[in-house]
Amino acid sequence: MKERIHLHRAYKRLAAAPPISTTIFLLLVALCDVLIAVFYKPLLDGFVSQVGQLAALAGVPTAVTHWRFLPVWVTEMPVLDAPASFPSYRLSLITFVLGVLVVVIVPRLRPVPKVVRVYVAFLSLLMTASAIFFLFFPHRFPYDVVDFSLLYMGTQFGMWLLMPIVMGVALSSLPSPVPEKLLVIVATVAYGAVFGAIRYASFLFLLQKLTVLSMAAMFFALGPLIDFVYMVSIYAIYVNIVALRLRDRPEVWRWSF
């Protein structure tokens, strides 16, 4: 029976890449991260410029503002300012009622997967809290689009620096060519930049149309913190490709026990 077992599916794991290959790969990953850190200014300026053009296509005028960020290194962060609307009392009240209903009902929907119930309930709690604030203290809302943009851009840039490190460590042990693994990392960062630009422009559009009531929920629902989702997806797809490519090579597989 063992002759009919696919090595990549039955109690087998891939052997680690050679130490020299792994070392070279990790050094190249570190170099990629250093390049992002050194050339951050043209990267951020170009990113913000593209987002501004995307927002303009959606009918949202923007203005670039250079905001104080860190005392050293990235001293100024280019961010976009755009018009945003505030919710009316009626909208805040409707949001509060719907939010409470969702928080009460959704966790009891057992046929719905638990992870979905938790996610929806968490976002509904954010919307409910925002609605309460605008019902009682609308004049004291402390944030505007520039504050939101600064948080977004700071987190997005942090993710660009983190992506090569996380993906590099995850891919380093795979017995596949170094250039191929580097290409996966570059593709991940490039995808993050394109997706991040579209997401940023969409946020500016939604802040104008859906009001700042949804600011917190939008950031936690689709902000840069969820970039790990597509990072894991890209990693899983690539590992599957490598496993299928090497499935008939017993010399690269090891028993798991």
Structure tokens belonging to residue 3: 């002759």
pLDDT per position as a tens digit, 185-234:
999 999 999 999 999 999 999 998 888 998 988 888 888 878 888 999 99
> pTM for the full model?
0.86
Write down the pLDDT at residue 203: 93
pLDDT per position as a tens digit, 209-221:
888 998 988 888 8
Helix (H) or strand (E) holding 65: strand 63-68
pLDDT per position as a tens digit, 124-168:
999 999 999 999 988 888 888 999 999 999 999 999 999 999 999
Question: Assign residue 75 a region: left if phi > 0, alpha if psi is -120 to 50, beta otherwise?
Answer: alpha
Helical axes 19-38 vs 178-209, angle rounded to 10° = 40
